[in-house]
Amino acid sequence: MKTLTLTDEQEEAVAAILDWYADPDGKRVFKLHGYAGTGKTTVLKEVVRRLREARGDDLRLHFAAPTNKAAQVMRSKGLTGATTLHSPGLIWQHRKSKRTGASYFHPLAKGAAGLDNIDLLILDECSMVSKEWAARVLYHPDSGDLFNDLATGGGRRENLRVLAVGDPAQLWPVKAAEPSPWATEGNHTARLETIHRSAEGSRVLQAAQAVRGPDGRDFGVMWEIAGVGSRPGIEALLRADQVIAYQNETRWHIINLLRQAKGMPAGEPDKGDRLVMLENSAFGVKGDQFEVAWATRATMPASNKGGWPEFDYFEIGFSDGRSTRVPASMFSGCAAEKKGIWDYRGAGVDALTFADAITCHKAQGSEWDSVLVVDEGWLSHQSRGWHYTALTRARQYAGIVSAEHLPSAWTLDEARAIRSKWWEEIEHDREVSPTVAYTAQAIVEAIEDSDSIRASVDAEAIGQKVGSTAGTVNNHMTKLRKVGYLSGKGPLTMLHFPEGTKRPGVVAQMYERMVRQAS
Per-residue pLDDT tens digits for 60-82: 888 988 888 888 888 988 888 88
| Stretch (H or E) spanning 314 | strand 311-318
- As a whole number of angstroms, the distance between CA 301 and CA 297 comes to 13
- What local confidence, expressed as pLDDT, does residue 116 receive? 67
pLDDT category of residue 508 using cuts at 50, 70 and 90: very low
Per-residue burial over 100-111, b if 16 or more Cβ lie within 10 Å, else e, is: bebeeeeebeee
Half-sphere exposure of 346 (CA within 13 A, CB side): 11
pLDDT category of residue 213 using cuts at 50, 70 and 90: low
When mean pLDDT is compared across 85-99, 231-245, 289-303, 350-364, the lowest value belongs to: 85-99
- As a whole number of angstroms, the distance between CA 176 and CA 128 comes to 10
- As a whole number of angstroms, the distance between CA 71 and CA 371 comes to 20
Instruction: Please check whether the domain covering 8-192 is classified as CATH 1.10.3720.10.
Output: no
When mean pLDDT is compared across 147-156, 243-252, 285-294, the lowest value belongs to: 147-156
Choose among 284, 242, 288, 283: nearest CA to 69: 288
pLDDT category of residue 206 using cuts at 50, 70 and 90: confident
On the question of pLDDT at 176 being above 50, the answer is: yes
Name the strands in the sheet holding 486-487, side by side, starting at the edge strand that comes first in the sequence. Answer: 455-456, 492-495, 486-487
On the question of pLDDT at 201 being above 50, the answer is: no
- What local confidence, expressed as pLDDT, does residue 136 receive? 74
Return the sign of the alpha-carbon dihedral for residues 166, 172, 178, 180.
negative
- What local confidence, expressed as pLDDT, does residue 468 receive? 64
- What local confidence, expressed as pLDDT, does residue 299 receive? 94
Q: Are strands 289-300 and 311-318 parallel, antiparallel or unpaired?
A: antiparallel
More confident residue, 72 or 179: 72
Q: Are strands 120-123 and 103-107 parallel, antiparallel or unpaired?
A: unpaired
Query: Is the separation of the CB atoms in 62 and 81 below 8 Å?
Result: yes
- As a whole number of angstroms, the distance between CA 228 and CA 222 comes to 11
Query: Is the separation of the CB atoms in 90 and 114 below 8 Å?
Result: yes
Q: What does DSSP assign to residue 2?
A: P
Choose among 59, 52, 45: nearest CA to 119: 59
| Stretch (H or E) spanning 455 | strand 455-456
What is the rounded average pLDDT of the residues 157-164? 82
Which residues does residue 292 pair with via DSSP β-bridges, in sequence order? 318
- What local confidence, expressed as pLDDT, does residue 498 receive? 42
What is the rounded average pLDDT of the residues 272-279? 91
On the question of pLDDT at 181 being above 50, the answer is: yes
Residue type (1 letter), 254: I
Name the strands in the sheet holding 357-359, side by side, starting at the edge strand that comes first in the sequence. Answer: 357-359, 242-245, 368-375, 394-402
- As a whole number of angstroms, the distance between CA 323 and CA 339 comes to 22
Choose among 387, 361, 391: nearest CA to 70: 361
Q: What does DSSP assign to residue 358?
A: E
The chain-wide mean pLDDT, for the chain, equals 72
Return the sign of the alpha-carbon dihedral for residues 208, 209, 213, 215.
negative
pLDDT category of residue 436 using cuts at 50, 70 and 90: low
On the question of pLDDT at 312 being above 90, the answer is: yes
Global pTM reads 0.68
| Stretch (H or E) spanning 447 | helix 434-449
